[in-house]
Amino acid sequence: MHQSTFALSLFVGAVVAFQCSSFNTTVSVSAPSYQPAFAPFANHYQSVALLNVVTARDASTGASPFKGAINVVETFSISAEYCTPTANQHPAHLDVQILTHGLGFDKSYWKFGGDSSQYNYVRAATDAGYATLSYDRISNGGSTVVDPYTIQQAPMQLAVLEVITSRFRNGTIHSSVPKPSGKVFHVGYSYGSILSHALVASNPSLSDGIVLTGYSTNTTWVGEFLISTNFHLAKENEPQRFGNRSTGFVTWADELANQYIFFSHPHFDPAVLAYAETHTYPFSVSEVLTGGVVPYNAANFTKPVLMISGDADLIFCGSDCHGILEQAAPLFPAAKPFETYVQPDTGHGMNLHYNASGTYAVILDFLKRNT
């Protein structure tokens, strides 16, 4: 009932002009697996103890939480959705955006609130004439749930994005998805921006341009995010949804912690915060701790790059993004162009604020100007 009321209050009178095909696809990937130097948590006291260690003032010079890496080969089922404008009868000729979500969400972040929602990025993108391909990163949404200690790590998530992109480009991702003849862009959010950035650093030919939302390359304040979650064990925090999950899956405590991390008051609807809190997904300790091991030097990427974050982004800007995003420019020396934009009245959860449509307009204008 709560979800229906939310939908009616926000989306009355909206017109849906896109169509989507949902599917699962099997991907096989090879990537380094960093072996934890800590034992799997037996209880929440141990997860908080690790949090103490990795956020201590000497953490950068202390012992690594990992004892080395081994290469592993894994196969996953990935849940994805391909959307096109309803009016377009030749979707293969559309430019396409591959959308990668962040921590705490699944791919529904890109269609937040449903098809007719004012917060629905897919709706804005298809209205602008793009097709979109969104997917659930491993252990989120309808994708395979994996070991959060040894498999759900940044290199494995990056490998999944690389395979999805390659198979989409060669027309083998699924029978319902045509091989594209237009350009293929990557749009990421938060951790999804880390992966999109790493994609063009490791394999620049796979993308025709990237948009990195809710992101900067300054990690000074990531510890504040970690501390704010208190590494709550997801199986204890939400036993009805995640009671069967490993202790390596963690989350934040409640709606107020969600607000602290993702929202800028008073620039959001409290109903949006409540809805977001009931649709969260846990993240793995290891994917957070391996975020820095993927490549970031995108010296060979010559395509367009837009980095856009909310002015009050806590995680990547310490709640003030002015003068922060530009620091990434040396990592994209050949990008044409490299642009940054700070969206006013917006926290880390860019799609969840009143002016989400303004964020979408900046992104879509950038892509149109650089197509």
- Reported as a single tens digit per residue, the pLDDT across 144-171 is 999 999 999 999 999 999 999 999 999 9
Q: What is the pLDDT of residue 13?
A: 40
Cis amide prior to 333 (ω within 30 degrees):
no
Low-confidence spans in the chain with pLDDT less than 50: 1-9, 11-13
Q: Reduce the DSSP state of residue 91 to 3 states and report it.
A: helix
Place of tokens 């201590």: 56
Q: Give residues with Cβ within 8 angstroms of 302, minimum separation 6.
A: 204, 334, 335, 336
What does the mean pLDDT of the chain come to? 94
Question: Minimal CA–CA distance to 370: which of 337, 344, 324?
Answer: 337
Query: Helices 222-229 and 44-54 sit at what angle, rounded to 10 degrees?
Result: 160
**What whole-number distance in Å separates Cα of residue 121 and Cα of residue 18?**
12
Tell me 137's DSSP state. P
Confidence at residue 14, expressed as pLDDT on a 0 to 100 scale:
58
Residues 6+ apart with CB under 8 A from 155: 31, 32, 33, 34, 290, 293, 294
- Distance, CA of 87 to CA of 133 (rounded, Å): 18
Could you read off the pLDDT of 89-129 as tens digits, one per residue? Answer: 677 789 999 999 999 999 999 999 999 899 999 999 999 99
Question: What is the Cα–Cα distance from 26 to 31, expressed in whole angstroms?
Answer: 16
How many helices (H) and strands (E) would you count in the chain? 13, 11
What domains, with CATH codes, occur in the chain? 20-369 (3.40.50.1820)
pLDDT for 93: 81
Closest CA to 133 of 89, 87, 187: 187
Rounded CA separation 146/74 (Å) = 10
pLDDT of residue 12: 42
Which H or E element spans position 234? helix 234-237
Q: pTM for the whole thing?
A: 0.95
* Cβ 231 vs Cβ 44: under 8 Å: yes
Q: What are the strands of the beta sheet with 232-233, ordered from one edge?
A: 232-233, 249-251, 283-284
